[in-house]
Amino acid sequence: MPRSLPLLPAALLSALSITALARAAAADGGQPEGARVWAADDGTRVRREDVGLPLSRGEGNALFRPGEPIRLGALRGEVVAFQVIVEAGAEPVRGVKVEVSGLDPAAGAGEPAAAQQQQADGAAPAQAIRIDRFVEHYVEITQRSRNEQRPLESLGWSPAARPPDERHLGALPDALIPVEIAPPWAPYPIEVGARETRAVWIDVHVPEGAAPGAREGKVVVTSASHGELAALDLRLDVAPVTLPYGAVDFIAFYEADKVAQRVGDGPAVEQQLWQLLHEHHVDGFASVRSPAEVERLRPAIDGSLYTEARGYRGPGQGVPPAAVALGAYGGFGDPREETLRRVEAVAELLPPAVDDVMLYAVDEQCESPRGPGWRRLVRGSRLSSRILVGHSCGEVDPVKQDVDLVLTPANRFDSVWARAAREAGKRLWVYNGALPRTGTFMIDAPLTGLMADGWIAASHEVGRWFLWETAFWHDGNRGGRGPVDPFTTAENFHNQDGDACLGDGMLLYPGTQRGKFASRSVGFAGVLPSMRLKSLRRGIQDAGYIALARSASPAAVDAIVKEVIPAALDEALDTSPAAWSSEGAPFFRGRDALRALIPAGASLDAAGVRRALAEAAVARRALVPLARAQGAKDGRPADGHAEPGPLRRWRATGLLLAVAALGAAAVAIAVALHRRGRPGRGAAER
């Protein structure tokens, strides 16, 4: 797998940096000696100490070459992003501003007459490209995600797939704070310390009504201490094609009470959270247990929250979420007739536009009678055709599970089982995931992992992809250590099995912090995005590219997807590193290749997207073999056992009993535990 090169020894790095920076200063015309401005794609994370990277000289950088324009391509309805990196030399650079201007149509490119008239009148055109800028906030990483007994292993990866320390220790950026509300502890204009970097993240929103063609602009970087640092040309090519919204389904849970405790309990905060997720092509996953909760969340559930009338300006106008949970993680308890009446009262209030209404019976307890019990009750209900009874379980063949819908850990996904489940009329979703089979949530991992998840979802029949949490700032597991300030502490997850994770279940940051963390409050009544959420958005948008391009050139698209994602899910072995690149450039180039295959004027509705991607998954099975460990038989996937193994950490007692029943020796237990995958984060941890 392509990896970043280890850092050079300090003396050599210093010598090379001085020479390179001097050349860059001359080439960039007026940029002060010892300072550098460059651009990076949205799949690259640059640490605060990463001065003099080859990327800054254009080496291996798909987006930037010194003296050349920053080149972006986009479909209508897409958000494309890049980063502006400012390096300081021997002296700090103070008061740095990054401005993006222009992006007007280039000479010869047409615009609708109404838009031209609006510009002539001095008003912004209704379909103008919007620019959002964010300060990248850094958090110090001194320890990696790990298990206390097995430090190289974590909930985010197997030991063989562990991302290297030399790129993931130090000051990593993740939280993104809009420049307009940047606080004194993450200021804008930004302050760049001597021999350090700082970055501004840029989102370029291309509306569905944007005129196609080339647009030209400037990225101007100035400082209070050194004047103008750089004026980089920017070129954006807008294709005459509209990107489908939410080409693959990602649904994200959050605990409303925990968000309210930290940020505030007003309905505006919760609605902003839904809108932010929706803007990134991710559905909130509502857990409703009463008619009052349905009414509170109705605008989010029926899609009316995602309209200009409600202040929403992103993609997917008016599109409702795909699924709603009835009592997430077993919220309705044991199956009883009187409880069924409550379930029915809630379910019948849900808008018909919601595709899946899931009674979430229990979490990661395959042996629990709740799922089968609820299924029997619901079969006799007047709403039996509306309600799917589901639970999460990765240990047992879904066909043998007496529920309608099975959530299985993404890194335990078994395509043979999944196919049999679908043929038996069952539904299958995946959740979470870990390297090398899927990307990981963890901060101390490459951004490309979550980007890869969008490509994986587009080329494999995984159903919906459930994210177990998005605002996990409270570390409330059994074995958890209590609330953290995510702006200063990356290690936010602990459990009683010795796991410690950085950024797990935390794609959002609190805009306001109350109580003991109030000194690190941005003062914004809502939540803020992370670079990881942006990376996930990028992968979901790429899935739309795959669907559009495949409708015209299926074989070429399948080859591109295979090149970018050589192996994933049960095509990969846990004894290998992730097969996709840890750098953003291969994804950038693959996206460009897909865009070139999309015919002008191409269009797909939601049904067309599903059809195109279902065909892609079938073709993938013929193109990429399932991995098989030594001794695997009958086409079973790659772990060296005939069925996906138990969820070790969350079922320790059950596992030991099962092993004892099989008469396994203690040494065999230890070996099996070491070899097994590490799937999800379950209710037993909460």
- Position 127 scores a pLDDT of 79
- Which range among 24-28, 123-127, 458-462, 594-598 shows the weakest confidence by mean pLDDT? 24-28
CA distance 535 to 588: 12
Which residues make Cβ contacts (< 8 Å) with residue 26, sequence separation at least 6? none
**Unique residue bearing structure tokens 């679908």:** 422
The distance of Cα 320 from the centroid of its chain, to the nearest Å, equals: 20
Q: Mean pLDDT over residues 253-276, rounded?
A: 94
Q: Mean pLDDT over residues 544-559, rounded?
A: 97
Core vs surface per residue 22-31: b (16+ CB within 10 A) or e: eebbeebeeb
Which residues make Cβ contacts (< 8 Å) with residue 86, sequence separation at least 6? 35, 36, 37, 93, 96, 98, 190, 192, 197, 198, 199, 200, 221, 229
What is the Cβ-side half-sphere exposure of residue 585, based on CA atoms within 13 angstroms? 14
What is the Cβ-side half-sphere exposure of residue 644, based on CA atoms within 13 angstroms? 25
Nearest by Cα to 602 from 542, 547, 537: 547
Q: Is the pLDDT of residue 279 over 50?
A: yes
CA distance 646 to 366: 10
Q: Is the pLDDT of residue 124 over 60?
A: no
- Strand 36-41 relative to strand 79-87: parallel, antiparallel, unpaired? antiparallel
DSSP symbol at 123: P
Which residues make Cβ contacts (< 8 Å) with residue 667, sequence separation at least 6? none
Residues 665, 670, 672, 678: what is their CA dihedral angle, to the nearest 10 degrees?
150
The beta-strand segments (E) located in 256-383 are 283-284, 287-288, 323-326, 356-363
- Position 316 scores a pLDDT of 97
CA distance 347 to 288: 9
- Strand 170-178 relative to strand 36-41: parallel, antiparallel, unpaired? unpaired
Going across the sheet that includes 170-178, the strands are 36-41, 79-87, 197-205, 130-141, 170-178
- Strand 93-105 relative to strand 508-510: parallel, antiparallel, unpaired? unpaired
Q: Which helix (H) or strand (E) holds 469?
A: none
Q: Is the pLDDT of residue 652 over 60?
A: no
Q: Which helix (H) or strand (E) holds 234?
A: strand 227-242
Q: Rounded to the nearest 5°, which phi and psi values hold at 434?
A: -160, 150
Residues 335, 338, 339, 341: what is their CA dihedral angle, to the nearest 10 degrees?
120
Q: What predicted TM-score, i.e. pTM, was given to this entire model?
A: 0.88
- Position 91 scores a pLDDT of 95
- Position 409 scores a pLDDT of 96
Q: How many Cβ atoms are within 10 Å of 208's Cβ, its own excluded? A: 14
What is the Cβ-side half-sphere exposure of residue 650, based on CA atoms within 13 angstroms? 26
- What's the sign of the alpha-carbon dihedral 481, 482, 485, 491? positive
What is the three-class DSSP state of 649? helix
* Cα 97–Cα 141–Cα 433 angle in degrees, nearest 5: 100
| Two tokens, residue 92 | 């700090």
Q: Contact 322/278 with Cβ under 8 angstroms?
A: no
pLDDT band at 33 (very low <50, low <70, confident <90, very high): low
- Position 150 scores a pLDDT of 96
| Two tokens, residue 255 | 């605990």
- Position 106 scores a pLDDT of 61
pLDDT band at 629 (very low <50, low <70, confident <90, very high): low
Which residues make Cβ contacts (< 8 Å) with residue 518, sequence separation at least 6? none
Q: 131: alpha, beta or left, given left = phi > 0 and alpha = psi -120 to 50?
A: beta
The distance of Cα 227 from the centroid of its chain, to the nearest Å, equals: 37
Per-residue pLDDT tens digits for 293-326: 999 999 999 999 999 999 999 999 999 999 999 9
Q: Give the helix ranges, DSSP H, for 303-336.
A: none
- Position 116 scores a pLDDT of 40
Q: Mean pLDDT over residues 405-412, rounded?
A: 96
pLDDT band at 107 (very low <50, low <70, confident <90, very high): low
Q: Contact 613/554 with Cβ under 8 angstroms?
A: no
The Cα diameter of the chain in Å comes to 83
- Position 528 scores a pLDDT of 98
Q: 215: alpha, beta or left, given left = phi > 0 and alpha = psi -120 to 50?
A: beta
Per-residue pLDDT tens digits for 434-474: 999 999 999 999 999 999 999 999 999 999 999 999 999 99
Q: How many Cβ atoms are within 10 Å of 588's Cβ, its own excluded? A: 21
- Which range among 71-80, 259-268, 291-300 shows the weakest confidence by mean pLDDT? 259-268
- pLDDT over 70 percentage in the chain: 84
CA R_g for the chain: 25
pLDDT band at 637 (very low <50, low <70, confident <90, very high): very low
| Two tokens, residue 661 | 């029943």
| Two tokens, residue 263 | 């940020």
**Unique residue bearing structure tokens 């080409």:** 247
Per-residue pLDDT tens digits for 518-530: 999 999 999 999 9
pLDDT band at 513 (very low <50, low <70, confident <90, very high): very high
Q: Contact 303/318 with Cβ under 8 angstroms?
A: yes
- Which range among 75-84, 256-265, 440-449, 562-571 shows the weakest confidence by mean pLDDT? 256-265
| Two tokens, residue 254 | 């959050």
Per-residue pLDDT tens digits for 661-676: 444 444 343 434 443 4
Q: Which is higher by pLDDT, 20 or 97?
A: 97
Q: Contact 509/527 with Cβ under 8 angstroms?
A: yes
Nearest by Cα to 161 from 153, 149, 172, 169: 153
Q: What share of the chain is helix, strand, coil (3-state, %, to 5)?
A: 30, 25, 45
- Position 355 scores a pLDDT of 93
